[in-house]
Amino acid sequence: MYKYVFRRVYQLIIVFFLFLVSSYVLFDAIPGNAFQNLLLNPDLPPEAYEQVIKLYGLDKPLSERVILYIGNFFQGDFGYSYKHFPRTPIELIAERLPRTLMLFAMVNIIAFYTGFLIGKILAWRRGSKSETWITVTSVFSYTIFYPWWALMMLWFFGYKLNWLPIGKFLYPEKWYDAPYDSDVIFVSMIKFTLVVSVVQILVYIYTRNIESLSMRRNVRFTSLVTIAILSLLYWNQGDLAVQKPYAMDIAYHMILPIFTVTVVAFAGTALLTRTTMMEVMKDDFILTARAKGLSQKRIRDRHAARNALLPVVTSFIFTIVTIIDGSVLTETIFSWPGMGQLILDAVLEEDIPVAMASFSFIGVFALIAHFIADISYAYLDPRIRIQSQG
């Protein structure tokens, strides 16, 4: 087993190295470079352009630059951003990443929960007319042409009804004399959301084993109300009372993107749950449970759904990996200044340090996830374990 783990780590390091080299070469293959707009400036002599190119080392041959870059990379030196000069890629990512994570973590949690509930019910009602139509609807909301859908939502809620803002992270006019930086307020929002969701999940886990359904519902409802009251109190005390209107502004801007992405994302979970649930329902233990005379709801929730949860959770873990990749379109359409926009701008403007840093960040993220998945599969599946030893 240890031998297997070591070999995987060794292989993954080689893959990561190849990933770095190939992404650098890809960026280099884009015609032009980040400083070409200097040539268009009539006030600057052409020597200035050449000097800047030399300053950033872009005049060196490709092979030399790749080796230099990777050498610096493993020393923890990511260089400076070409476009936001004095800032480093790490600073930029540290600023942008929380925004993306916050948005998409909320989307994924809501989508996962509702999708699982709907998928469970769909599989249970297999063959009925309502099941067919709900499934067809969720397939179309899964395959909906996403940019078009987002624009329609922006038009409908932002322009026609004028309920919600059209994109952006905040209303700048509200923030002219704000005592806090928007990032500070955003961090306290993240802390708050994290604590609330952890408490909520703990309540769910602990009430899971309450036998009577009405009792469980009551306990959960009470806890929800308690959390709501506590959070109201929390936001009205001292320092946070000043931050509250600004936090509300950011939250107001988050509603539309969250809703839009959730409609697309929940359908994927619902369809996956439906399929795995239908597989589980063929198993013998469901028949046994039926023979024991358990109620339908109990069989569905306790026996079938619990076993169908595993692949869904696995896919949930993998969607976390693809968050940054998937955020590109959403953030472009909703002008949400997060990682997706950072990557897109860096790629389009050839800001190589920022693009490389964010690519390798995604790479490390994906690598760790793959590694965990591999090891746990090997641990759970004896066939793979034995094969890898032989």
Q: What is d(CA 121, CA 242) in angstroms, rounded to the nearest whole number?
A: 45
Give the count of residues interacting with another protein (CB under 8 A): 56
Element counts in the chain: helices (H) and strands (E): 16, 0
Do residues 312 and 273 make contact, with C-beta atoms less than 8 angstroms apart?
Answer: yes
Q: Where does this chain touch another protein (CB under 8 A) — which range of 109-117, 143-151, 187-195, 222-230?
A: 143-151
- The answer to whether residue 366 forms part of the interface with another protein (CB under 8 A) is yes
Pick the binder of another protein from 67, 184, 225, 348 (CB under 8 A): 348
CB 163 to another protein: min, Å: 15
Q: What is the DSSP letter of 36?
A: G
Do residues 19 and 360 make contact, with C-beta atoms less than 8 angstroms apart?
Answer: yes
Instruction: Give ∠ CA 260-266-269 in degrees, rounded to 5.
Output: 155
Encoded one letter per residue, x for contact with another protein by CB under 8 A and - for no contact, window 146-185 reads: xxxx-xx--x---xx-------------------------
- The answer to whether residue 110 forms part of the interface with another protein (CB under 8 A) is no
Closer residue to another protein in complex, CB, 35/186? 35
Of 239-298, binders to another protein (CB under 8 A) are: 271, 275, 278-279, 282
Q: Where does this chain touch another protein (CB under 8 A) — which range of 27-35, 238-246, 299-307, 308-316?
A: 27-35
Of 34-93, binders to another protein (CB under 8 A) are: none
Looking at residue 239, its amino acid is D
Going from the C-alpha of 326 to that of each of 315, 329, 349, the distances in angstroms are 15, 7, 20
- The answer to whether residue 233 forms part of the interface with another protein (CB under 8 A) is no
Closer residue to another protein in complex, CB, 80/363? 363
Looking at residue 12, its amino acid is L
Q: What does 129-184 look like in DSSP terms, one character per residue? A: HHHHHHHHHHHHHHHS-HHHHHHHHIIIIIIIS--S-SSSSS-GGGGTT-SS-HHH
State the residues that interact with another protein by CB under 8 A: 11-12, 14-15, 18-19, 22-23, 26-27, 29-31, 126-127, 132, 135-136, 139-140, 142-149, 151-152, 155, 159-160, 271, 275, 278-279, 282, 324-326, 328-329, 343-344, 347-348, 355, 359, 362-363, 366-367, 370, 383, 387
